[in-house]
A and B are shown apart, each in its own frame.
Chain A
Amino acid sequence: GNSVTQMEGPVTLSEEAFLTINCTYTATGYPSLFWYVQYPGEGLQLLLKATKADDKGSNKGFEATYRKETTSFHLEKGSVQVSDSAVYFCASREGSNYKLTFGKGTLLTVNP
């Protein structure tokens, strides 16, 4: 079946540092890929998505590129802020199916 593997946290960075959170997927077809963010005490929010190979999703300074050859969708940000402290989830979805497959989540803490 489908699965998503993301780097285990926690990740602790200083403000303005570069962020990478790795995510790889397995799927039978060509899934859509997502990054969700969960701020403390809140539900998950869609951060960005990509629906086909070589697509780049971007939002709030975060980026991720759909790499079919490496089955990856790594999340990056050039300069993190304290307000980026949250749990980040990578997810996949086959076609227009309803079912999202989530990774375990990566806790990011950004210190001033």
Chain B
Amino acid sequence: DAGVIQSPRHEVTEMGQEVTLRCKPISGHNSLFWYRQTMMRGLELLIYFNNNVPIDDSGMPEDRFSAKMPNASFSTLKIQPSEPRDSAVYFCASSLGAGETQYFGPGTRLLVL
């Protein structure tokens, strides 16, 4: 069975550019999470969707970050404009329900120059 799919796996961009990260959750899962992983701050929850609705976006760092989930099988995380401090690995995870086991995608490694 396919797990959580993320694209691209690697992204290198220049400061000021728009970056869009994509995620396809596991079919049938109704909860989706975006995380950011850095050496300094570890794993941080950015946003949580339930049934395609954003429930908790308190972890979104600032207005440059936005996330959408137009349907049950697709979500995007957008950074506009990007800055060097956004360089990190971004993970998408999904689960059957809010309190169920979260399954992580392979991550997108973002480098902003």
A contact residues vs B (CB 8 Å cutoff): 41-46, 49, 89, 93, 95-100, 102-105
Contacts and interface: CB of A to CB of B under 8 A. Distances in A.
Interface of B: 4, 31, 33, 42-43, 45, 48, 50, 55-56, 91, 93, 95, 98-99, 101-107
Contacts of A41: 106
A20 B102 CA distance: 24
| Main SS class of interface, B | strand
Contacts of A89: 43
A98 B98 CA distance: 5
| Main SS class of interface, A | loop
A14 to B, nearest CB: 26
Which one of A44, A45, A102 has the greatest number of beta carbons of chain B within 10 Å? A44
B29 to A, nearest CB: 12
